Amino acid sequence: MIEVITCPLCESKDHSQIHKDSLREYLSCSDCEFVFVPKPYHLSEADEKLRYDTHNNDPMDVRYRQFLSQLTEPLLKKIPDDSYGLDFGSGPGPTLSLMLQEKGHQLEIYDKFYAPNEHIFNQQFDFITATEVIEHLRDPKFELRRLASILKIGGYLSLMTHLLTQEIDFSNWYYKNDPSHIGFFNQKSLNYVAEELGFEINVYSERVIFLKKLSKYI
């Protein structure tokens, strides 16, 4: 039996191919417009981790800190002093958590490969960060719901990813070429997330998005 492909964000079965190269194909959901790579083209978890192992995420690297400051600087203006946060997908060299701790905030970290601290899903946070994470999620619907469930009302889910805009020529877009990047958000797919989970969206830049939790989702 042929497996029916569904959108991993909204579960719609209605989609179309927008690009195919020598390695994989890319589908666009006709309902929420989320662009995704079908499961048969996903890296194995072992190969995915091998790729992340090559990342040089050095907490003392000034350039890496400057990159992360695209998110931390505006976030610091939104959260109260001594807030309790989670860095989701902290990677092999947790840095964003250290940057926020240096500003007086308390941070937990979670990463499925490097810091699988499952206890964090039994807690409540004032804010959650996910920098260069959501484009890697195999099940974004599940993961975003799970993050929404542990975020306090009024708290921020702070995302860093490269948004897919109408100005981008997808066939030549560098961001799709990373084999671990399997999901690409645009304004409409973000709107879907906000509506489903009770968030207010603030697209701060083409790479930084703040989702403020307004209510407990159903």
Helix, strand, or coil (residue 101):
helix
Q: Quote the pLDDT of residue 1.
A: 55
Q: 40: helix, coil or strand?
A: helix
Instruction: Report pLDDT digits (tens) over 4-55.
Output: 899 999 999 999 999 999 999 999 999 999 999 999 999 999 999 999 988 7
The domain 43-213 is placed in CATH, from the list 1.10.630.10, 3.30.70.330, 1.10.3720.10, 3.40.50.150, at: 3.40.50.150
The residue ranges of every structural domain in the chain are 43-213
> Would you state the pLDDT for residue 29?
98
Q: Looking at residue 111, what is its pLDDT?
A: 97
Residue-level pLDDT at 72: 98
Rounded Cα gap, residues 1 and 114, in angstroms = 37
Mutual angle of helices 140-149 and 187-197, in 10-degree steps: 50
Location of structure tokens 């569904």:
6
Q: In the numeric block, which tokens belong to residue 49?
A: 């981790």
Task: Provide mean pLDDT across the span 124-135.
Answer: 98
Integer angstrom CA distances of residue 203 from 8, 22, 134, 157, 190: 22, 33, 15, 12, 9
> How far is Cα 126 from Cα 108, in angstroms, rounded to an integer?
11
Cα separation, 151 vs 197, whole angstroms:
11
Question: β-strand 25-29 against 35-36: which pairing, if any?
Answer: antiparallel
